Amino acid sequence: MLSARAACLFHAVFGGCWRTGVQLELYVLSVSGVSEKNPRHDLYFATQHEPVAHEQVSRRSRQCVRVTAGELLLISGEEPSLIAMAPGAMTRIAGMRALTAPSSTLARSLQRSCAARREMSRWSKVPLGPEDAILGVTVAYNHDPNPKKINLGVGAYRDDEGKPFVLESVRMAERILLEAENAMEYLPVAGDKTFVKNALKLAFGSECSAAPGFENFAGMQTLSGTGACRMGGELLARFYDAPDVYLPTPSWANHTPIFKDAGCTVKGYTYYDASTCGLDFKGMVADIEKMPPSSVVLLHACAHNPTGVDPSKAQWDQLSALMREKHLVPFFDMAYQGFTSGDADVDAYAPRKFLKDGHHMILAQSFSKNFGLYGHRVGCLSFACDSVAEAQAVESQLKILARPMYSNPPIHGVRVVNEILQEKTLESKWRLEMQGMAERITGMRMKLRSGLEARGSAKIWDHITSQNGMFCYSGLTPEQVGRLSTEWSVYLTKNGRISMAGVTSRSVEYLADAIHAVTK
């Protein structure tokens, strides 16, 4: 039980500064004469601060202690006693100091400390946000001690040893740049103009880039494909009359917040057929036919994320004609050029067809996957305009948007891309390496499908090889995905998306065992 003096101290302190439910910080005090049997106790009390994980109370080390707002811990000897419980939050000891003083002096000191802490807590109303779904998969994987564990959540290429892969063409370009001893000055706000031209040539081909009207493109270097989509959304929200952006269902998870945060209204259209694990082209066409004129339609140019399901060339032709008829604006996101077929020109069929058909299209490009420049954030955004003057106006507004946002884009990655695309030997080597990456992923698709079929699975797995690019939309349920992680240490996102780049020759049979076990 509390002595009368300790009880008075508790009420004096908490009566003035404690509120139920406030997150707290603990201070340690040594108080004389709290009881007759123990002339000296350690009194733990709570003041406002953020919560952290609790630890065992230790009289000797005075480490972290778990308490609730309004609880009082009285330490007698080696064991803590919990008294005066009230609802609240868990927290930590911080700023520990020893005080010996009469209760009135102590109470005033504590109240001042509480008031000061409240004054300092400017961000207490900021809520804790949810963990990113894909990053959460990696966190769980990293904490798993199983030597057979597999991470199939990350959208980044891995070699057949499961290790990050740096292209030799990139290393060669870097050595050339190192010897050139280039300056490290700021790039212009719109980025490297040579890079923008090279990016457009890669997207639309050398013949298209030399054709009349190609100078009507407005373009800028961006912070990879994410930055390209965001800058495109920002311009639409600020200057376009009807900034309704239609996304395929499903789409890359980041597309929705990108365009919503830019100020666009995000809507959806039919894309994936769960019953076949393929494209619902009939539903897609029906939804596009219902869209109001001038709507913006986001299209994955190739290797659709997350499904790996792409329209055929004939279907792309039909979509181009339909969108021209409906006066819709195509917004292509091309993050995986070369990862579908292994040929960058083949994978660019859709945007090239739409450009040829006269669409005023928008194109976002990423160089993270096909050049392996993930951390360098290399991207490009371009608008097909009616005239040079219109292109100049669009580009001027893009620069106005970028200047207060990030000022200037990074320089090293675009220099690497320029070096490769402007030097024939390096470009040839890069194209071969890109083909090799695509072929390894295709090989893993074939091995996984044959492995599942060899195990006598009752399910049909032909979609594993009919889908394209880095991802396989497996059709696994969230429950089955959960069992894969808990029973087999195989980690992927809850929607069943498998990053085929994370599958290796050593792990593919184990993965087949795991998927077969949870889908019986």
User: Helix or strand or coil: residue 284?
Assistant: helix
Residue listed under structure tokens 């995986």: 336
Query: Are the C-beta atoms of 111 and 14 separated by less than 8 Å?
Result: no
Sequence-ordered strand ranges (E) for 116-251: 150-151, 217-223, 244-249
What's the chain's length in residues? Answer: 520
Q: What phi and psi values does residue 488 have, to the nearest 5 degrees?
A: -125, -5
Quick check: is 369 catalytic?
yes
- What tokens appear for 70 in the block? 């309004």
| The one catalytic residue among 18, 149, 252, 316 | 252
| The one catalytic residue among 287, 310, 333, 347 | 333
User: Helix or strand or coil: residue 418?
Assistant: helix
Query: Are the C-beta atoms of 13 and 115 separated by less than 8 Å?
Result: no
Residue listed under structure tokens 């057949």: 160
The closest of 422, 405, 418, 408 to 221, measured between CA atoms, is 408
| The one catalytic residue among 149, 369, 429, 447 | 369
497-499/471-473 β-pairing: antiparallel
- What tokens appear for 410 in the block? 């990074």
CB atoms within 10 A of CB 8: 14
Number of helical H runs and strand E runs in the chain: 17, 18
- What tokens appear for 352 in the block? 């090239």
Return all residues near 499 (Cβ < 8 A) that are at least 6 apart: 152, 153, 154, 155, 156, 470, 471, 492
- What tokens appear for 228 in the block? 């390209």
Report d(CA 31, CA 8) in Å as an integer. Answer: 13
Q: How far is CA 353 from its chain centroid?
A: 30
Quick check: is 399 catalytic?
no
Q: What phi and psi values does residue 337 have, to the nearest 5 degrees?
A: -60, 120
Quick check: is 197 catalytic?
no
CA Rg value for the chain: 30
Q: State the Cα torsion 198-200-202-206 to the nearest 10°.
A: -90
Alpha-helical segments (H) within 326-374? 344-347, 349-356
Burial 363-373 (b: 16+ CB within 10 A, else e): bbbbbbbbbbb
Q: What phi and psi values does residue 373 have, to the nearest 5 degrees?
A: -100, 50
Query: Are the C-beta atoms of 399 and 190 separated by less than 8 Å?
Result: yes
Distances (CA, A) of 21 to 9, 17, 49, 161, 410: 21, 12, 11, 50, 45
- As annotated, the active-site residues are 252, 333, 369
